[in-house]
Amino acid sequence: MKNEPPKIDWDRLRELRDLFLQPEPITGPYWKSNRQLQDYDITLGERIGWKWDAVLEELKVRGWKPPSPSLTDMGCGTGVATRRMLRAFPGHFKKVTLWDHSEAAISYARQKLRHEFPDVRVICPSAPPHPKGVVLISHVLTELNDESAGEFLELMADAQAMLWVEPGTFETSRMLIEVREMLREEFKVVAPCTHQERCGILAQGNENHWCHHFANAPAKAHQDPFWGHFRKEMNLDVGPLAYSFLILEKEPELIAEGASHLIGKPMIMPKYVRVLSCQKEDVRELVAGRKTDGYRDLKQGVTPMLYRFELKKNRILSGKKVGEAAGTDH
């Protein structure tokens, strides 16, 4: 049958979603079968892929390039983060290392990589590696307790760069900020921050804020009946999807230094738009009137929300998106 939708075990998928949403850390492997991994990969995993697409697009806008041809996926799951990374930087990576506490997940991720990227060498060690190149970390914070999180971070000591994506909830965002503060002496912060100072959200008065952003689903997802069925079965929107992220590197070229990065969604009022803006000085609310240069971009809130502002106190006089002219900021 032409365009027949995939057959999904929705009950098992809902059980898996509920497991991920529970507040307690997950203590053991949860992948039960290759079918479960496949169902996850084309549904919940695909949604995570859209978050990675948004992060990688921002890195390209910033002019970032991977500092090593070696890639390690820590807690790889089905390998969705690695596949997104290899698509974003075709031909750059020569070796991929996959690690997960589930052998079934590693096997599935390896198979998918070998099918799509046959020229990339895939390594699957028997113990957690100490990566030295580029490391991908995706949606693992809710699976770690304090002790295991410390052990996990120790493994990252020799990495050249870390790309870390998490759900955009208050709790996970605050946890990722803690990671940032612990590691910013060893690494430089590439994104989302445009500075190396203490995170402004930790300042007094910002207790109710958290650093999160939104990834849009591709247009085809809104037209595909499969995703409409997914929405009904899983009670989850296709998009936009909230995420938090952190990009660290030992010796990066910080192209967007001095810019402002917007947080969350803009608040649209009849005559102005209000945004929460992070910059070197602080995290604070800014407003832009309808006649402000850049108002339309601010109102639309299109990721990446990375700007250079001309300000008068908390009023935006003009705003230009970083990289809007040629993909890099000059």
Whole-number percent of the chain with pLDDT over 70 = 96
Least confident of 144-153, 237-246, 268-277: 144-153
Element (H, E) at 275: strand 272-278
Determine phi and psi for 45, rounding to 5 degrees: -65, -40
Q: Is residue 328 part of a domain?
A: no
> What's the whole-number mean pLDDT along residues 239-262?
92
> What's the whole-number mean pLDDT along residues 143-148?
84
Same domain, 270 and 240: no
Q: What range does the domain containing 136 cover?
A: 10-249
How many domains are there within the chain? 2
Same domain, 184 and 265: no
- Which candidate, 194, 191, 99, 171, places its Cα nearest to that of 138? 99
The predicted-structure confidence for 73-95, as pLDDT tens digits, reads as follows 999 999 999 999 999 999 999 99
Same domain, 231 and 176: yes
Same domain, 243 and 269: no
Same domain, 213 and 289: no
The predicted-structure confidence for 253-262, as pLDDT tens digits, reads as follows 887 888 999 9
Q: According to the model, what pLDDT value does residue 323 have?
A: 78
pTM recorded for the entire structure: 0.93
For residue 327, the SS3 value is coil
* Model confidence band, residue 23 (pLDDT cutoffs 50, 70, 90): confident
Query: Which of the listed residues 187, 220, 249 is the one where a domain comes to its end?
Result: 249
The predicted-structure confidence for 146-158, as pLDDT tens digits, reads as follows 888 899 999 999 9
Same domain, 134 and 30: yes
Q: Is residue 269 part of a domain?
A: yes
Same domain, 143 and 287: no
Q: Is residue 119 part of a domain?
A: yes
- Which candidate, 116, 81, 115, places its Cα nearest to that of 99? 81
Q: According to the model, what pLDDT value does residue 4 have?
A: 54
Same domain, 51 and 184: yes
Q: Is residue 1 part of a domain?
A: no
Q: Is residue 292 part of a domain?
A: yes
Same domain, 291 and 178: no
The predicted-structure confidence for 24-38, as pLDDT tens digits, reads as follows 777 777 888 999 999
Same domain, 56 and 91: yes
Q: Is residue 104 part of a domain?
A: yes
Q: According to the model, what pLDDT value does residue 330 have?
A: 36
Q: According to the model, what pLDDT value does residue 19 have?
A: 87
Q: According to the model, what pLDDT value does residue 202 have?
A: 97
For residue 97, the SS3 value is strand
Same domain, 144 and 266: no
**CATH code of the domain containing 237:** 3.40.50.150
Q: Is residue 92 part of a domain?
A: yes
> What's the whole-number mean pLDDT along residues 270-296?
94
- Which candidate, 168, 146, 117, 101, places its Cα nearest to that of 303? 168
Tokens of 15: 């059980």
Contact in structure between 158 and 250 (CB atoms under 8 Å)? no
Query: Which of the listed residues 224, 249, 274 is the one where a domain comes to its end?
Result: 249
User: In angstroms, how far is the first alpha carbon of the chain from the final one?
Assistant: 52
Same domain, 137 and 286: no
pLDDT at 329 over 70: no
pLDDT at 113 over 90: yes
Determine phi and psi for 242, rounding to 5 degrees: -75, 140
Q: Is residue 95 part of a domain?
A: yes
> What's the whole-number mean pLDDT along residues 106-112?
97
Q: How far is CA 168 from CA 140, 196, 243, 270, in A?
A: 13, 22, 4, 28
Q: According to the model, what pLDDT value does residue 325 have?
A: 42
Query: Which of 273-306 are b and which e, b meaning 16 or more Cβ less than 10 Å from the residue's Cβ?
Result: bbbbbbbeeebbebbbeeebebbebbbebebbbb
Rounded CA-CA distance 189/167 in Å is: 19
Question: In one letter, which amino acid is 76?
Answer: C
Query: Which of the listed residues 226, 249, 272 is the one where a domain comes to its end?
Result: 249
> What's the whole-number mean pLDDT along residues 40-65?
96
Rounded CA-CA distance 244/266 in Å is: 16
